[in-house]
Amino acid sequence: MTQQQANESKPLGKPAEPATCRHHESWYDRLPFDDTADFEAANRGLIARPSGDTVERADGRIAWDFRAYDFEADEQAPLTVNPSLWRLARLNTIAGLFKVTEHIYQIRGFDLSNMNIIEGDSGLIIMDPLVSTEVARAGLELYYEHRPRKPVVAVIYTHSHVDHFGGVKGVTSDEDVAAGQVRIYAPEGFMEEAVSENVLAGPAMGRRAQYMYGNLLPKGPTGQVDAGLGKGTSRGTITLIAPTDEIRESIETRVIDGVEIEFQLTPGTEAPAEMNLYFPQWRALCVAENACRCQHNILTIRGAQVRDPKVWSYYLGETLARYGDRSDVLFAQHHWPTWGADDIREFLADQRDMYAFLNDETLRLLNHGLTPLDIADHLRQLPEPLAQKWHARDYYGSVSHNVRAVYQRFMGFYDANPASLNPLPTVESARRHVAWMGGADAVLERARASFAEGDYRWVAEVVNKVVFADPDHQAARELQADALEQLGYQTENTTWRNAYLTGAQELRQGVTPTRGGGVAGDLLQALTPSQFFDLLAVRLNTPKVAGRTLRLNWLLSGPDESYALTVRNGVLTYRAGDRHAEADVEIRMARRLLARVGLKPGGFQAALKDGSVEVRGAMSELAWLFGAMDRFSGPFNIITPASLPDEAQA
């Protein structure tokens, strides 16, 4: 058993404190728990449950475990889970093959996302084949157990996030696509966006995603219970096949295997490249991930670029106006469908209004001078009656962090208070705060009194100073973990719960070494040369190269391209379509080898030996350059101070 598996099977173990129990009791009066319509909708059209208990990888490890959430069978929420969150968690356990309407089927509960299967004249159109190949293949096999075994003739990626394309090689292959037997459709800009978000800041996002999704937590009432959009992310093989067809017009109609599809591009909404789809033959509307059964993120807590809620709201309004009166069923890439024209129109209008409110009310308040934290504390929830709608609750995004994201989008990190311009770094500030407050023991004595009063937010904030001032202070770590744990039990938001509880676990058990964590091979292969050189520039260790210069020509074939790279003043820059007249080094190679040669350990040396790379000029300079590249490996500290590894030092 690995350390990660040991952590996942070990419960955190502490019960809910009295203040948390009282907090949960109040929720039953706040929301309409007697409304069971979502449970009826989530079970509607069920054809079959998953045919096995687990989905395994080729190496025998489990990619998905359908038994992991059996503890959520009880209707009554345990005292360690927010009642509203428990309700969603139970809805997300409803898994299997579902009929949405004639010719449209849905695989749900096999991953964070849904895979939709459209029956054409001669074959199947697969829409968004999940995160990994193993679960996508298992989902397709479940479909085949109950429907005719037609071949896959097309794949549609609705948008550029990995949970909507990563399993593509579980439903088709490079060979079938290359032979023209399968076409792949995606919105304009898909490839660039799919690759870019996972590369330049990929290691940091991956580590932060462990907190957001609770991947390292045990499944159970005191651990991970859900991920908001679904139960969690599968742990299989991530793949990518480039689209053969791009949707470029704002409204574009295609007929694919006899199925008429009207594509509506919605760029800059939930993803930079995204599109909705309308099926007029069956009056069915797919809204991709633009409208879910929860509030989504303007900025994910794992990190990403801030999304534009005004644009998001605008496109939802366009969708409502164009398809609201023509749709009998609405389905999406997460959660369960909505049936009935009236309910569809209300759902789309609510989602439109929600993102408009987050944008406009934040701007109103910041123009009165409120800071991000002021705005978050002032708003707290959506306006009534929207706050009473289950499909607008804070399960994934939250009003609190979304309004701060809107502030960031318009105003940046600075709140205009000069005291915030140049604060002390985290550890130094923590040490001074603790000393100023009379030392660690004095802080902890008062913090324990606050904990007993149920003031967990304050305890988490103030004891964090002690932990950062002295990460080995065991009593501080324990109290900080206890406070985070209670906050995790109380919150309605899945990502907040996972973050709180992961922080508590790492304070108690330390950081878990994890396998992998790098960028999937298919994503690396999809890098454009510009993205490849951008990544080299990010990895360049400036202190190691400061004061030295290098001029390098990088010449590619298939197709022919040239890039002039310059290392100067500690940075790497490049010009596409150019070359240095007098270069120190010149590299010639096939474009398809870029990622294998330039990013894998030992790849360049191996390519020199087998002749797939030709180098002219000062080999010592090239060796110096690659020797100055950082490698991002291993999980860094989050809940305790992070530091540069020795190999990343100058």
Listed range (129-133, 276-280, 607-611) with the worst mean pLDDT = 607-611
Distance from C-alpha of 559 to C-alpha of 329, rounded to nearest angstrom: 46
Element (H, E) at 116: strand 115-119
Distance from C-alpha of 88 to C-alpha of 84, rounded to nearest angstrom: 7
Residues in contact with 423: Cβ distance below 8 Å, sequence separation at least 6, in sequence order: 429
Q: Which pLDDT band holds residue 647 (cuts at 50, 70, 90)?
A: confident
DSSP state string for 358-419: HHHHHHHHHTTT--HHHHHHHH-SPPTTGGG-GGGSSSSS-HHHHHHHHHHHHH-S--S-GG
Residue % of the chain over a pLDDT of 70 = 97
The answer to whether residues 142 and 107 touch, using CB atoms and an 8 Å cutoff, is: yes
101-123 pLDDT, tens digit per residue, is 999 999 999 999 999 999 999 99
CATH fold of 420-509: 1.25.40
Q: Judge whether residue 10 has pLDDT over 70.
A: no
Q: Judge whether residue 9 has pLDDT over 70.
A: no
Q: Which pLDDT band holds residue 391 (cuts at 50, 70, 90)?
A: very high
**Where does 295-360 show beta strands of DSSP type E?**
329-331, 338-339
Q: Judge whether residue 602 has pLDDT over 90.
A: no
Average pLDDT over residues 408-423: 96
Q: Judge whether residue 1 has pLDDT over 50.
A: no
Joined tokens for residue 517: 């964590």
Q: Looking at domain 521-627, does it have CATH number 3.40.1110.10?
A: no
Average pLDDT over residues 598-625: 86
Mean pLDDT of the chain: 94
Q: Judge whether residue 130 has pLDDT over 80.
A: yes
Joined tokens for residue 141: 């096999």
Distance from C-alpha of 227 to C-alpha of 89, rounded to nearest angstrom: 8
Q: Helix axis angle, 456-469 relative to 474-490, nearest 10°?
A: 150
**Where does 464-584 show beta strands of DSSP type E?**
550-557, 561-568, 571-576
pLDDT higher at 499 or 525? 499
Q: Give the pLDDT of residue 517.
A: 55
The answer to whether residues 267 and 314 touch, using CB atoms and an 8 Å cutoff, is: no
CA angle 342-343-345, nearest 5°? 65
Q: Which pLDDT band holds residue 5 (cuts at 50, 70, 90)?
A: low
436-469 pLDDT, tens digit per residue, is 999 999 999 999 999 999 999 999 999 999 999 9
The answer to whether residues 356 and 313 touch, using CB atoms and an 8 Å cutoff, is: yes
The answer to whether residues 124 and 118 touch, using CB atoms and an 8 Å cutoff, is: yes
Q: Give the pLDDT of residue 518.
A: 62
Q: Give the pLDDT of residue 109.
A: 98
Q: Judge whether residue 199 has pLDDT over 90.
A: no
Distance from C-alpha of 524 to C-alpha of 513, rounded to nearest angstrom: 23
How many Cα neighbours within 13 Å face the side chain of 472? 0
Query: Do the domains 31-357 and 521-627 sit in the same CATH topology, yes or no?
Result: no
Distance from C-alpha of 271 to C-alpha of 183, rounded to nearest angstrom: 22
| pTM > 0.85 | yes
The answer to whether residues 615 and 552 touch, using CB atoms and an 8 Å cutoff, is: no
Q: Would you put residue 643 in left (φ > 0), alpha (ψ -120 to 50) or beta? A: beta
324-333 pLDDT, tens digit per residue, is 999 999 999 9
What DSSP designation does 509 have?
A: H
Element (H, E) at 487: helix 474-490
Q: Give the pLDDT of residue 634.
A: 77
Longest distance between any two alpha carbons in the chain, whole Å: 76
Q: Looking at domain 31-357, does it have CATH number 3.60.15.30?
A: yes
Indicate the pairing of strand 275-279 with strand 152-156: unpaired
The answer to whether residues 117 and 128 touch, using CB atoms and an 8 Å cutoff, is: no
Q: Give the pLDDT of residue 28.
A: 95
Joined tokens for residue 355: 């993102």
In 179-286, which residue ranges form alpha helices assigned H by DSSP?
Answer: 190-196, 202-213
Q: Give the pLDDT of residue 595.
A: 82
Element (H, E) at 536: helix 529-539
Q: Judge whether residue 363 has pLDDT over 60.
A: yes
52-84 pLDDT, tens digit per residue, is 999 999 999 999 999 999 999 999 999 999 999
Q: Judge whether residue 512 has pLDDT over 80.
A: yes
Distance from C-alpha of 528 to C-alpha of 50, rounded to nearest angstrom: 39
Q: Give the C-alpha distances (Å, rounded to integers) separating 271 from 162, 176, 198, 225.
A: 11, 28, 13, 26
Joined tokens for residue 509: 């058990």
Residues in contact with 41: Cβ distance below 8 Å, sequence separation at least 6, in sequence order: 336, 337, 338, 339
Domain ranges of the chain: 31-357, 420-509, 521-627
Joined tokens for residue 263: 């594509």
The answer to whether residues 93 and 49 touch, using CB atoms and an 8 Å cutoff, is: no
Distance from C-alpha of 140 to C-alpha of 137, rounded to nearest angstrom: 5
Q: Strand, coil or helix: what is 492? A: coil
